[in-house]
A and B are shown apart, each in its own frame.
Chain A
Amino acid sequence: MTTILRATGLAKRYRRKWALRDCSVAIPAGRVVALVGPNGAGKSTLLHLAVGLLRPTAGTVEVLGEPAGHSVETRTKVAFLAQDKPLYDTFTVAEMLRFGRQLNRTWDQDFALARLAALDIPLDRRSGGLSGGQQAQVALTVALAKRPDLLLLDEPLANLDPLARHEVMRDLMTAVAETEMTVVLSSHVVSDLENTCDWLVVMNGGRVQLSGDIDDVLRSHRVLTGPAELAGGVAGRLPVVEDSRTERQATLLARTGPQAPTLDPRWDTRPVNLEELVLAYLRRPESAALPRPALAA
């Protein structure tokens, strides 16, 4: 398993505010990575550092084995779709493609034209005159036509209606099936990512709180419900991410590992879903579950 993106002790300070602090993560190649976290968690900053659009205050970020943005070769292999202004409003769609072709040696014009034709997007229309969904599709086309090894998307689904979200995700997944590229997409809406991502990175307060294969992560956490007086004993044995108790009943979201734990039969155990898992971690910034260094390599 090769690592395509690695941040080590990464930090970024804007004036007096730390956007990232002691942020470490390793993302394996070939994955579709969900980068989730609340607004201000540092997701956009991490992505900007990974393409070399920002310089770290401390620490390092490597992409394809080289410092981010270091050489033309790596920059050619990485595409980044920023959240706010992915297109020039006064450019026509055809001009956007020409712009992309001029700047990128690996540009695939046939692919770009075929994709826009399939989406019924007119080439002579100015970007500013397209609908939000069409703008997102043109921006994604430009990013994909670059034929990157690593595609970074900052909130690609924000402001899209449900149909456009489905189309964007489907086309993105089709591109993954065809090219085996690695995709990192950030979102603060977990349900958008449930069926499309296979690696989860949870960011909170400028650092990475959780990183791992989504199925493995889900399999190794469980929700335990049982009598409140037994909760202390369980919490002493298992790492508890979230602990909510009433007078009589305790509900614990615990990292149990893949095997179901042997507990007093008064405990009811059920699997956890992605959304409740992410929320539990975000509500408990001090909880962290990162692969041990030996496994992260």
Chain B
Amino acid sequence: MIDFRLDRGSGVATYLQLVHQVRHALRLGVLQVGDRLPTAKEVVDKLAINPNTVLKAYRELERDGLVAARPGLGTFVRRTLGGTSGADHTRLRAELARWIQDGRATGMDIEDLEALFAAVLNESFREDTA
């Protein structure tokens, strides 16, 4: 069973932290199809958070088709999240390596490149979630 943690200073909404942790566990295979998620009461007992927050996280996972609630039984994993396929991974990696070489050629150092990558990455996801 997944064990939720809370990063109280992170500024990320609590229900999103729970969603991310389930998605992460699905990606890593820690959670598999048929596994039961902890009940709201079990999570509340451990983290002292609002049960509505847990239910909200589970509803979001349910909407994405990752889990399903079975009344009286609990919430169960319906499908896992694989990463990208091997071929996609290789292609993206090569493109990124080319991008990094390009950046270094213009005189950017490792911190410049990291900052730029992080900024664009955040921007891209912020647009998605906004």
Interface core residue of A170, A176, A177 (most chain B CB under 10 Å): A177
Q: What is the number of residues of chain B that contact chain A, defined by CB distance less than 8 Å?
A: 21
Contacts of A174 in B (CB 8 A): 41, 44-45
Q: A218-B13, A258-B130 in contact; A32/B6 too (CB < 8 A)?
A: no
A interface with B by C-beta (< 8 Å): 30-32, 166, 169-170, 173-174, 176-178, 194-198, 215, 218, 258-260, 271, 273
Question: Which residues B1-27 have CB closer than 8 A to chain A?
Answer: 6, 8, 11, 13-15
Interface core residue of A30, A173, A197, A273 (most chain B CB under 10 Å): A173
Q: A30-B52, A170-B47 are in contact. List 15 more A-B contacts (CB 8 A).
A: A31-B52, A32-B50, A32-B52, A169-B48, A173-B48, A174-B41, A176-B44, A176-B51, A177-B51, A195-B6, A195-B47, A196-B48, A198-B53, A215-B15, A215-B56
Contacts of A198 in B (CB 8 A): 50, 52-53
Contacts of A195 in B (CB 8 A): 6, 8, 14, 47-50, 53
Contact of B44 among A166, A170, A260, A273 (CB under 8 A): A170
Contacts of B48 in A (CB 8 A): 166, 169-170, 173, 195-196
B interface with A by C-beta (< 8 Å): 6, 8, 11, 13-15, 40-41, 44-45, 47-53, 56, 126-127, 130
Interface core residue of B15, B48, B49 (most chain A CB under 10 Å): B48
